[in-house]
Structure 1
Amino acid sequence: MTLDPSALLAGPRGRRLCLEVLLAQGDGPAVQRAAWAVSWAARPFDEHRGTVIAFAGDATSCVEPEVSPAEAAIALGAVRPHIDPAVLDTALAVAVDLAAYWQPPSGEDVLVTTEEVLAALEPVAESVSRDPSISWWTEPVARAAQACVFWESKRSSEEPLRARLSRWRASMEAEETQFATEYAGQDVSGVWWSTPPQDLPRSTRARRGGEPLGLTLVEDSFGWETARVQPVRVPEGEVIEIDGPEAWARLCRRHPLVVTASRRYVWEMTTGRVGDWVQPDWAAVADEAVGVHLTVAGYLTTAGRVVDLGDGGASLLAGWGPDETFWFDTVVPSRSEETWSVDRGASDGRWRRA
């Protein structure tokens, strides 16, 4: 299976990936000009843009540059991208880290939807989709190379998995009722993610000498510098693959859980869409599969995007990491647990075994 360039540009994270590929091309003059142009062209689109403060000289002479999307597109078009695994890894990590579904999209994420900038990103999407190093982006779960990541203070729950799913389902019903009654008509932020229960086992594939993707591909990361990594054996049985918006829509239609009241404010704010919202009922999904896996391609083409369900409303895939699998059955350690930490002294800032 190959990655469709148009599908890549249809997803908010896919568009951001293409932008970050251009901005990851070193520190040459063309890249610097492009970064400058993007920063200022995005500013009018950013609802949380802050204030420019002059610390010296005459503040009245400090005038913000006015850069149009067309000018930003010209600057981006002057960058000649070299696509290689290092560039793609960097761009993917940045695109994931900058995801935020509880607020309006960033100015840059709006800028890349303009006609001019989108056109400038089309050659990048074509180059990325043809690059052989991304073949694994469309692959199903890599069962033989899975590892769980536990952050600095997080510990896995001992509660039975089915009990966790039942508790999650009851909690979702209670939250929906609360928002429909106590908070009816109020703009109150609630839970914004649409993942299975957060305390279920979840894993990503391990690459590059055992480093799991879950260490680097983290949405809105908290800057963790240490983590525990547990290589695991995963259960046999069907794993549902989410490889794009169509797969997510099918899952929502098959096992719909209405979340309009609880998600209305945050999902309307991040997408601009007004209407009914649905997400998968993971307690029901668990009856037909041992896990659900989000491919990297599925993430880039679906995360943060309004997925139309027809008469059933719409849905939003939010809170997942690329290549992440949530398991509805037990995973067991396959090797000893390891401690990993960020090597701040190295130029690449990579994670390494402690």
Structure 2
Amino acid sequence: MTLSIDTLLAGPRGRRLCLEVLRLVPDGPEARDAAWAVSWAAQALDENSGRMVSIAGDAASFTEPEVSPAEAAAALARVPIPELSEAFLFTALSLAVDLATYWQPPFGEDVLAATEDLRPVLERVASAVAGAPVIEWWGSGVELDTQAMVRWENSPASTRSPEELSAQWRNEQVAEETSFARQIGDVRLSGSWWSTPSFALPRSTRARGTAGPVGLTLVEDSWGWTSARVRPIAAPDGDVIEIDGPESWAALCRRHPFPVTASRRNVWGWATGREGMWVQPDWAAVAGEAAGVHLSVNGYLSTAGRVIDLGDLGASTVAGWGPDETFWFSPVEHSAPEQEWVRDGDTWTRA
């Protein structure tokens, strides 16, 4: 899928990317005013806003400013679009990814970014992002020659075959749906929120020069890891299914539907505001037709967290994936020794 203004702003993560571009503008009067306005406008829209605590002074005399989405939009409109270098856009992308949540209502900033008031402001950013030459790889398919797996800190590597893991995934999903169906009336009950294949399967992303695999940085709701083991792999032979937008995800769900209404009804309802039947792909069935499945960056930005209508089947969403991530249903071979990587601030380097 080619990234356009409409496809970028149709997805919650695409909108958040555009908002983060403006929030990353170097400090100045316009940036400070916009940061203040966005913060208070988002606070009013956030269902999980928490409580304001006063460190000093008279808390009783403090009144939270009332900032409307229109006022936040006006402040953001005065912020100039910065030079969209590859490093700058990658930072904005990593923020949009890290702030993804699918087990609770969206953050106030995400609600704000979806308002009609912010649409014109984000359109000018989306136009600049879509036209930036440095994002050409965001729309590409899996890059077979540069794949690498990431193993966080001391997490053990799986020793089970992909075939076993896919079969186990289906059995666990059936059991989970059966268990949650017994408690269908509990509107507070949380559950699994991801729509991925088994996390124990081999997973990889492309490596980009000295920065290492993008999977080191593009992680949803990251846990703040400071070390990782990276293993270059030789991609297995066979077809790789490409998820490059909502249409390809919908086609996969229709071809191999797996109902997950019982387990996802609350978490995806909170995240999207939609009630009804939910479906995701039957990954054990998908494993029978392909060696892997890849989610491009463009596919992620336009699809992750978005309600994807499936007609009589209900709806689906992409949750729990990292941009450019490939899940492999076939065994992978290591092509080089495992490497140790460490993080200093926001930068990963090979130890």
Cross-structure match for 1:21: 21
Partners of 2:210 and 2:349 within 8 A in 1: no
The alignment status of 1:36 with 2:36, answered yes or no, reads: yes
Amino acid at match of 2:348: W
Question: Which residues in structure 2 correspond to 1:102-251 (within 5 Å)?
Answer: 102-181=103-182, 183-187=183-187, 188-209=189-210, 211-251=212-252
SS at match of 2:207: strand
Shift of 1:55: 2.6
Distance 2:52 2:179 in 1: 41
Amino acid at match of 1:133: V
Distance 2:72 2:136 in 1: 31
Count of residue correspondences: 349
Shift of 1:53: 2.1
Distance 1:203 1:90 in 2: 20
Amino acid at match of 1:144: D
Amino acid at match of 1:3: L
Instruction: Report the RMSD for the aligned CA atoms in angstroms.
Output: 1.0
Cross-structure match for 1:52: 52
Shift of 1:52: 1.6
Cross-structure match for 2:304: 303
Of 1-10 and 51-60, the range deviating more from structure 2: 51-60
Partners of 1:40 and 1:65 within 8 A in 2: yes
Partners of 1:2 and 1:135 within 8 A in 2: no
The alignment status of 1:284 with 2:288, answered yes or no, reads: no
Shift of 1:58: 2.1
Partners of 2:150 and 2:231 within 8 A in 1: yes
Amino acid at match of 1:73: A
Cross-structure match for 1:93: 94
Distance 1:75 1:210 in 2: 35
Cross-structure match for 1:73: 73
SS at match of 2:157: coil
Distance 2:237 2:263 in 1: 35
SS at match of 1:305: coil
Shift of 1:210: 5.5
SS at match of 1:115: coil
Distance 1:95 1:220 in 2: 10
Cross-structure match for 1:352: 349
SS at match of 2:144: coil
Distance 2:344 2:54 in 1: 35
Shift of 1:186: 1.0
Q: Render the CA deviation track for 1:45-90: whole Å, top value 9, x for unaligned.
A: 1111122222322222211111111110011111111222122011
SS at match of 1:20: helix
Shift of 1:118: 1.8
Amino acid at match of 1:279: Q
Shift of 1:2: 2.6
Distance 1:210 1:96 in 2: 18
Amino acid at match of 1:223: G
Distance 2:55 2:95 in 1: 30
Distance 1:282 1:58 in 2: 57
SS at match of 1:209: helix
Q: Render the CA deviation track for 1:186-220: whole Å, top value 9, x for unaligned.
A: 13111110000110000000003250001000000
Distance 1:151 1:323 in 2: 18
Distance 2:35 2:158 in 1: 44
SS at match of 2:267: helix
Distance 1:243 1:76 in 2: 30
Partners of 2:94 and 2:219 within 8 A in 1: yes
Distance 1:91 1:75 in 2: 19
Of 28-37 and 287-296, the range deviating more from structure 2: 28-37
SS at match of 2:300: helix
SS at match of 1:116: coil
Distance 1:222 1:179 in 2: 27
Distance 2:57 2:315 in 1: 52
Distance 2:261 2:55 in 1: 47
- TM-score, reference length from structure 1: 0.97
Amino acid at match of 1:212: P
Q: Render the CA deviation track for 1:112-169: whole Å, top value 9, x for unaligned.
A: 1111112210000000000000000000000000000000121221112111111110
Amino acid at match of 1:284: A
Distance 2:260 2:53 in 1: 42
Distance 2:287 2:261 in 1: 22
Cross-structure match for 1:5: 5
Shift of 1:4: 1.5
